[in-house]
Amino acid sequence: MKRNSDYYTKLAKSKGYPARSVFKLKEIQEKYRVIRVNDKILEIGSSPGSWSLYIFRELKLKGSIVAVDLVPSEVSADEYSRYTFIQGDIMDDTITKKIASYGSFNVVLSDAAPSTSGNRLIDSSRSYEIAKRVLEVGIKLLKGGGNIVVKTLQGGETGKLKSEMSRYFGFSKLFKPAASRSESTEIFLIGMNFKS
């Protein structure tokens, strides 16, 4: 059911989550079961940290999360010992090398979004560049059978991303959560069962 954006913002705050985006991952998880309890997860564009908190608190993750963002995280590594945060740009090779030093992952999640300019063409092309990079990182670092979730802004290149994904994953799908603002062009690409 579609609700107004205030509804999700208030609900997130009342549940102790810094960002409303938590409900998007919750919907994805309830529909596709992309995360399992012992998984080792790479999360790109993770700050302030609602997705990580949801995974630890509600999915009771026993595995670990390596999280990456340009800006600091609000998740405390003291409280969650299986949480590692890397501050940096996913487009930067030194950051992807640092991520690779943690080995391979069962799941790659990306809610990374460029700051928007208001120009749909520019925004969707920036978002495409990030999503393409996330997909490349996923293809390099996912274990066989792994899953990926990648946010992008719909535009001319969304079909290209989707067909690239279907080459590498047994199942791929485009999904727009109800919690995503209706005026936003954001959409999530879900890839499951990575063919290593």
Residues in contact with ligand SAM by the rule CB under 6 A: 18-19, 21-22, 44-51, 68-71, 89-91, 111-114, 130
CB of 37 to ligand SAM, least distance (A): 20
Q: Which is nearer to ligand SAM, 37 or 71 (CB)?
A: 71
| φ/ψ (deg, to 5) at 173 | -155, 150
Is the CA virtual torsion 91, 96, 99, 103 positive or negative?
Answer: positive
Distance CA 150, CA 135 (A): 8
Q: Which is nearer to ligand SAM, 114 or 166 (CB)?
A: 114
Distance CA 189, CA 102 (A): 24
Q: Which is nearer to ligand SAM, 49 or 146 (CB)?
A: 49
Closest CB to ligand SAM: residue number: 45
Locus of tokens 């630890």: 56
CB of 170 to ligand SAM, least distance (A): 25
CB of 195 to ligand SAM, least distance (A): 26
CB of 29 to ligand SAM, least distance (A): 13
Where in the sequence numbering do the catalytic residues fall?
A: 151
Task: Single out the residue of 137, 135, 114 nearest to residue 185, CA to CA.
Answer: 114
| φ/ψ (deg, to 5) at 144 | -55, 135
Q: Which is nearer to ligand SAM, 88 or 166 (CB)?
A: 88
Length of the chain: 196
Task: Single out the residue of 163, 106, 105 nearest to residue 132, CA to CA.
Answer: 163
